Chain A
Amino acid sequence: MTVKKLSTISVIAAFLLLANTLVFSQTWRVKNRIQASVESDDNITETIAIDSQPFIQGNSLRLLIHSSATRRARQFRAAFVYKGGIQSYFNNKFENKLIHEISGQASRKLWKFVFGLRFNGRLKIFLNNNFDYGLATTGGFLGLPTIFGLTIEAAVSQTSLDYSHSNEFDLEEFRYSIVFSKKINYRLFLKLQPFFANTAFDERPVFIFQEFENNKLVDSGRKRKDEIYSMEIKAVLTKPFLFTVGYQWRRNDSNDKAFAFSYHQLSCTFALPLPGDFLLRSAAAAQFKKYRYMVATLPITGDPEQSESNFMIIDLSKDLNAGATVILRLALHNNESTLRNHFYRKKILNLGFDFRF
């Protein structure tokens, strides 16, 4: 992906967005948010702790555009979201990046059923290295009639991941999921989501027994294929705060022994309004991942930020007026790196402003 292509997309996206905002604002509900912030990251290269190399600390400027347009009629809903981000480091130019994410959803109600389509596309472009990738998901869903207050939604989706520099981690995934949700009382809402997914890597080889032979891995000649089983349960509690707690179990079966694992993930988020227009927000996730086989250390993914995660974020913000907010955010990460079962730590401090219009 060249910068030229990226610029084209940016211009088109910005143009369409503006056109939609100005021309169709009477039929579409349009909301925009711009965030400008300065960030300090103590480990920008996601170096793992056992490496002899020291962590590289870097400061950067971040800009984010978040726009959404929704349309609602009696039997029809449509939503369109664009998120764009740019991160420019003061010294470590190789980490400079641009991100474009576009997603949309349209649905129609026919009798008591709801039919819908979803799309999500993401382009991440590093301006000074070649780790760019594109990720696209398309799918459809069907909302069934509510039974005893239970909302049921079945969905199927297809995802493609494509790295620019190599095909090793490129993949295609088909996912089948069903979501059951029910309000228990006016403060509590529960959601249960099992899913099954089939993942086929384009060119990722399966290595025989994952053992080194003369310091080289032996290619079995087969391509990696995974089967994922997952079950997620989420509870949302409210008043006067908003608290979400979730648990996810996932099992990954693979024809490559190195990637047969299961994990349990606990996650929670909360938002608590404080006096003086202050707001405390937090998000945290803890993951307990277990690989079934002890095999050679292999790279998991091309992008470290896609790796599995443990994190905790604490964010304090204050509304300056109806449209402007000042934000101070601390994020602690202990993530599995690009290498299987190897973890890196990082601490990010962010100070910025949100503008909503």
Chain B
Amino acid sequence: MSAIYHYILGATLLFGAAPAIFAQSNADLAKLEAEYRAYSNELLVVAGAIDSLKRQISERSKRIETIENPDSRGYLEQRKLEKILQESQRISTQVAKLEKQQRTVSEKLERNIRLLRSGYESMLEMKISAISAAESSEDKQEQYAALEGLRNRLYELKSQNQEAQYHLDMPALAISSEDSPAKIRQKADLLKDQEDKIRLVSLLLLKRRNDFKKELKLRVRLDDLMTDLALFDQQDEYLANFSAPKSAAVYSSDRIEVDLTSASTKTLYFDVKQPFNYKSLSIDEVEYLIKDLAQQEEILRAKADSLSSRAIEFYKAADELKKSN
């Protein structure tokens, strides 16, 4: 008995200490900050490359404009035009590839910012507790300085994340000086249409999240029942298996990425229009999924609000232009 006693005691200590071993919150944040820098740099490089390529396309467009019209165009000019068009096509393909890369990196950056924010928010709470616990005024000053640093970083991340969200998926609509009131209203209608689509997706997400919550409750409660039985009344293998920690074999492989709307490249963890079987996920996975969904809903709502306010601005502009005419 003594051997097994020491065995279990050792394992208790090991697993009990596991959080300490794996916590490494500061190390995680440092790693996330490194990723943040890498993604930001990559985005800058890609954006620079896209700008350069777009300039080349613009330059070729101007060259095309200088070529005479088809009726009077000669053989050499025709060849020149074809060559420029081919080059433009090649450059456009490169731009499309780079834009895809830009979207992927932007999404990674967005996720990275969310994780960083969550980490810093936790640290902020700890710092606030540390200030209350600090005995000397020097300690308090030091903690305040650290707190201020954390707050500034959080503010930067928050504003950057919002900027990224609005920037990423908004349709590139703007009022041009040549637009008539009717044209501006058309653009406003388009923005409203985008808003409606995003609000619909947000509603679908909410419905899905509520479904998850309902089933999660059933699974947790059934698991609790099995735990009670297995612990006290019946050491049946069937019950023990039920209440044991579930397999962690399912990672993000079950997540299906899809385009939300034609105007949005924001990806979700699954197709909101398709039923999603989450039985393969452990209870913890479902809990995390619910949390993720809530964040996604928040982002979508912010986007829809932004589109709505832009549409209102467009309608106002159209009205004012009509009055002035």
Instruction: Give A contacts to B, CB under 8 Å.
Output: 1, 5, 8-9, 12-13, 16-17, 19-20, 23-24, 26-29, 33, 35, 62, 64, 66, 68-81, 83, 85, 87, 99, 101-107, 109, 112, 114, 116, 118-123, 132, 134, 136, 138, 141, 143, 146, 151, 153, 160, 162-164, 179, 181, 183, 185-189, 236, 238-242, 244, 246, 248, 265, 267, 269-271, 273, 279, 281, 283, 285, 303, 305-306, 308-309, 311, 313, 315, 317, 329, 331, 333, 335, 348, 354
- From A9, A29, A66, A123, give the contact of B224 (CB < 8 A): A66
Q: Which single residue of chain A is at the shortest CB-CB distance from B123?
A: A26
Contacts A181-B280, A281-B222 hold; do A273 and B214 have CB atoms under 8 A apart? yes
A281–B13 Cα gap in the complex (Å)? 35
User: Which bucket holds chain B's interface residue count?
Assistant: 35 or more
- From A73, A81, A246, A271, give the contact of B218 (CB < 8 A): A271
The reply to whether A71 and B22 contact each other, CB–CB distance below 8 Å, is yes
The reply to whether A102 and B11 contact each other, CB–CB distance below 8 Å, is yes
Give the shortest distance, in Å, between A311 (CB) and chain B (any CB). Answer: 6
The reply to whether A104 and B238 contact each other, CB–CB distance below 8 Å, is no
In the complex, B7 has a CB within 8 A of chain A: yes
In the complex, B15 has a CB within 8 A of chain A: yes
A99: which B residues are within 8 A, CB to CB?
Answer: 231-232
The reply to whether A102 and B233 contact each other, CB–CB distance below 8 Å, is no
A160–B2 Cα gap in the complex (Å)? 13
Give the shortest distance, in Å, between A197 (CB) and chain B (any CB). Answer: 11
In the complex, B284 has a CB within 8 A of chain A: yes
The reply to whether A85 and B15 contact each other, CB–CB distance below 8 Å, is no
The reply to whether A103 and B277 contact each other, CB–CB distance below 8 Å, is no
Give the shortest distance, in Å, between B209 (CB) and chain A (any CB). Answer: 15
- From A107, A136, A185, A354, give the contact of B4 (CB < 8 A): A136
The reply to whether B16 and A13 contact each other, CB–CB distance below 8 Å, is yes
Give the shortest distance, in Å, between A326 (CB) and chain B (any CB). Answer: 13
Given contacts A123-B8, A238-B279, 16 further A-B pairs with CB under 8 A are A12-B12, A26-B123, A64-B228, A66-B224, A68-B245, A72-B284, A99-B231, A101-B231, A102-B11, A103-B245, A106-B18, A116-B249, A186-B275, A271-B218, A281-B221, A305-B234
Q: 8 A-B contacts, Cβ less than 8 Å apart?
A: A28-B19, A85-B232, A103-B244, A121-B7, A132-B1, A186-B276, A283-B222, A315-B225
In the complex, B288 has a CB within 8 A of chain A: yes
- From B125, B247, B277, give the contact of A143 (CB < 8 A): B247
The reply to whether B236 and A160 contact each other, CB–CB distance below 8 Å, is no
The reply to whether A283 and B225 contact each other, CB–CB distance below 8 Å, is yes
The reply to whether A13 and B222 contact each other, CB–CB distance below 8 Å, is no
In the complex, B142 has a CB within 8 A of chain A: no
The reply to whether B244 and A120 contact each other, CB–CB distance below 8 Å, is yes
Q: Mark each residue of chain B from 32 to 53: 1 if its CB lies under 8 Å from any CB of chain A, else 0.
A: 0000000000000000000000
In the complex, B306 has a CB within 8 A of chain A: no
Q: Which single residue of chain A is at the shortest CB-CB distance from B287?
A: A29
- From B211, B232, B249, give the contact of A62 (CB < 8 A): B232
The reply to whether A265 and B251 contact each other, CB–CB distance below 8 Å, is no
Contacts A12-B9, A35-B228, A114-B249 hold; do A303 and B1 have CB atoms under 8 A apart? no
Q: Which single residue of chain B is at the shortest CB-CB distance from A155?
A: B247
Q: Which single residue of chain A is at the shortest CB-CB distance from B16?
A: A16
The reply to whether A116 and B3 contact each other, CB–CB distance below 8 Å, is no
A68–B227 Cα gap in the complex (Å)? 12
Give the shortest distance, in Å, between A334 (CB) and chain B (any CB). Answer: 12
The reply to whether B23 and A285 contact each other, CB–CB distance below 8 Å, is no
The reply to whether A119 and B218 contact each other, CB–CB distance below 8 Å, is no
B325: which A residues are within 8 A, CB to CB?
Answer: none
Contacts A12-B16, A134-B1 hold; do A271 and B231 have CB atoms under 8 A apart? no
A35–B229 Cα gap in the complex (Å)? 12
The reply to whether B225 and A186 contact each other, CB–CB distance below 8 Å, is no
Give residues 105-139 of B contacting A (CB, 8 Å). 119, 122-123, 125-126
The reply to whether B5 and A5 contact each other, CB–CB distance below 8 Å, is yes
A120: which B residues are within 8 A, CB to CB?
Answer: 244
Q: Which single residue of chain B is at the shortest CB-CB distance from A106?
A: B18
B245: which A residues are within 8 A, CB to CB?
Answer: 68, 79-81, 103-105, 118
The reply to whether B13 and A242 contact each other, CB–CB distance below 8 Å, is no
The reply to whether A281 and B225 contact each other, CB–CB distance below 8 Å, is yes
A306–B277 Cα gap in the complex (Å)? 35
A73–B23 Cα gap in the complex (Å)? 11
In the complex, B268 has a CB within 8 A of chain A: no
The reply to whether A29 and B1 contact each other, CB–CB distance below 8 Å, is no
- From B16, B224, B231, B238, give the contact of A248 (CB < 8 A): B238
- From B7, B217, B218, B253, give the contact of A136 (CB < 8 A): B7
B233: which A residues are within 8 A, CB to CB?
Answer: 305, 331, 333, 348
Give the shortest distance, in Å, between A302 (CB) and chain B (any CB). Answer: 12
A97–B130 Cα gap in the complex (Å)? 42
B123: which A residues are within 8 A, CB to CB?
Answer: 26
In the complex, B76 has a CB within 8 A of chain A: no
- From B12, B275, B285, give the contact of A16 (CB < 8 A): B12
Give the shortest distance, in Å, between B264 (CB) and chain A (any CB). Answer: 24
B19: which A residues are within 8 A, CB to CB?
Answer: 20, 23-24, 27-28, 69, 71, 80
In the complex, B252 has a CB within 8 A of chain A: yes
Q: Which single residue of chain B is at the shortest CB-CB distance from A242?
A: B218
The reply to whether B218 and A26 contact each other, CB–CB distance below 8 Å, is no
Contacts A24-B23, A26-B126 hold; do A114 and B7 have CB atoms under 8 A apart? no
The reply to whether B225 and A134 contact each other, CB–CB distance below 8 Å, is no
B7: which A residues are within 8 A, CB to CB?
Answer: 121, 134, 136, 160
A107–B248 Cα gap in the complex (Å)? 7
A285–B275 Cα gap in the complex (Å)? 31
